[in-house]
Structure 1
Amino acid sequence: MQIKRDDLTGKEVIQLIGEHLQGMAQNSPPESIHALNIEGLKKPEITFWSAWEKGQLLGCGALKELDQSHGEIKSMRTSSLHLRKGVAKSVLEFIINEAKNRGYKRVSLETGSMDAFAPARKLYSNFGFQYCGPFADYIDDPNSVFMTLKL
């Protein structure tokens, strides 16, 4: 698997972000969706990566710089064609290593509290993420779960 920085212009990546947003809309009320669209992911404080193998897009993830010591994981998604193959684990590991290389002291994330997000919460817990309160501009929301990892 090759994980590379992506400019979010490729058809496959645009489709995967669309799949991600559609999944959020199916499982979360509109006011609790914090997923970013293509334009949101192109902001300068966000770095976006895509994971590929043999010309196929496997998944993606992003890292948003909140400040010099704190990053936020965004847009973690595995293509529906490549679920349960370790894609999310590899992308998450890559992003955590990037956060360490940047000198961040911690990385945090927001995900859903609904059953559809249980696999994501389990993945993050397996990496040592702990539940925490809202961070950055987030507010308490029964549809959101906040997690953080000290690096």
Structure 2
Amino acid sequence: MRSAVVEQAVHARLILSSHCSTQLRVTLRYRAADPLAVRMAFPAEYSLDTAAPLDEPTEPAPGAEVVWVFARQLLASGLDLPSGLGDVHIRPSRGPHTMVELRAPEGVALLRFEAGDLRRFLWASYRCVPEGQEGRHLDADRALAELLG
């Protein structure tokens, strides 16, 4: 039986400037119950949210993370061609890398991933729900209930 959830931890470089970057751990998630979407979860300390004044740092809640949700098809397309029109843009880069740009009102984050890591995750998601078969896993009533709160 196929797993209903795919989760893979990978490393990424958060590009801070042309000469400065930092490595962070990102968790990639895919759920058969939400077959059109993938999730990228980042440690809370990388949030751009400025809820607290800068002179009063707060510790993130244990286990808290920042999660970006976007189309699985965007990830697939972005591995080979520049893709994305909204808050998430994905494009191949020099060498074995893929760039992911996340845009929010608070700022922009540019991340460099090993393309192989993203491809392995994508292939695992296709083993869970084959490409083109997403409609068989959609629960329209549940999705509508979640949307309407």
Decide: shared fold, TM above 0.5. Answer: no
Quick check: which one's helix share is greater?
A: 1
Q: Which has the larger radius of gyration?
A: 2
**What is the TM-score of this pair, normalised by structure 2?**
0.30
Quick check: which one's strand share is greater?
A: 2
